[in-house]
Amino acid sequence: MLRQRVCRMQHSRATMTVAMTPEDALRAQPDTAAPYLASRSLAGCPVHVLREKLRAVGLRPTRQRTSLGWLLFAKGDRHISAEILFEEAMRARVPVSLATVYNTLHQFTQAGLLRELAVDGAKTYFDTNPSDHHHFYIEGEDRMIDVPSDAITVAQLPSLPEGMEVSRIEVIVRLKPKGA
């Protein structure tokens, strides 16, 4: 009963202000609450939803995964680099190294929670929306905008190497300001 109340309070705080850091969230929801995850009464709580989401893909919801997952997924669909996520973690006082951020992003990607988007050789973004879609990439701003999958039709493909089939087609349309 108490847990339920704490969770509801935390949920409304998170929704109203989005000011709560992952560490705040975890303090409000200690790991001991984990066995109660399946309880229907906790279904709307973002930390519980996140922990369930991790468990559902076979990842143990450790403190670091939960903190980084909170930063990644609590703000809706977005495209984020490891460096930006690391900066956000520092600002939120989540004690992680850049290497841990990289590892966690790759674990989330392998588990299907994120999609990795290689824009340039040096630039990799992680998309919190892993469903099929394409992207606009705005050069100079390092910004990606989602394009629905049915908005682009690839009319012709070269013949595929023997024994291969198309796994997925991802289109990145690179944009620049007119006249630039």
Site pattern 30..59 for Zn ion (x: CB under 5 A)? ------------------------------
Beta bridge partners of 136: 145, 173
By CB under 5 A, name the one of 8, 146, 172, 175 that touches Zn ion. Answer: 146
By CB under 5 A, name the one of 92, 127, 134, 137 that touches Zn ion. Answer: 127
In the complex with Zn ion, the residue whose CB is nearer, 52 or 146, is 146
Cα–Cα distance for residue pair 149/132, rounded to 1 Å: 6
Cα–Cα distance for residue pair 91/140, rounded to 1 Å: 25
Cα–Cα distance for residue pair 171/47, rounded to 1 Å: 33
**Residue 88 interacting with Zn ion (CB under 5 A):** no
Q: How far is the CB of 72 from Zn ion (least distance, A)?
A: 13
In the complex with Zn ion, the residue whose CB is nearer, 41 or 81, is 81
Report angle CA 80, 52, 54 to the nearest 5 degrees. 45
Q: How far apart are the first and last CA of the chain?
A: 60
Q: How far is the CB of 148 from Zn ion (least distance, A)?
A: 10
**Residue 116 interacting with Zn ion (CB under 5 A):** no
Cα–Cα distance for residue pair 109/127, rounded to 1 Å: 9
Q: Which residues bind Zn ion (CB under 5 A)?
A: 127, 146
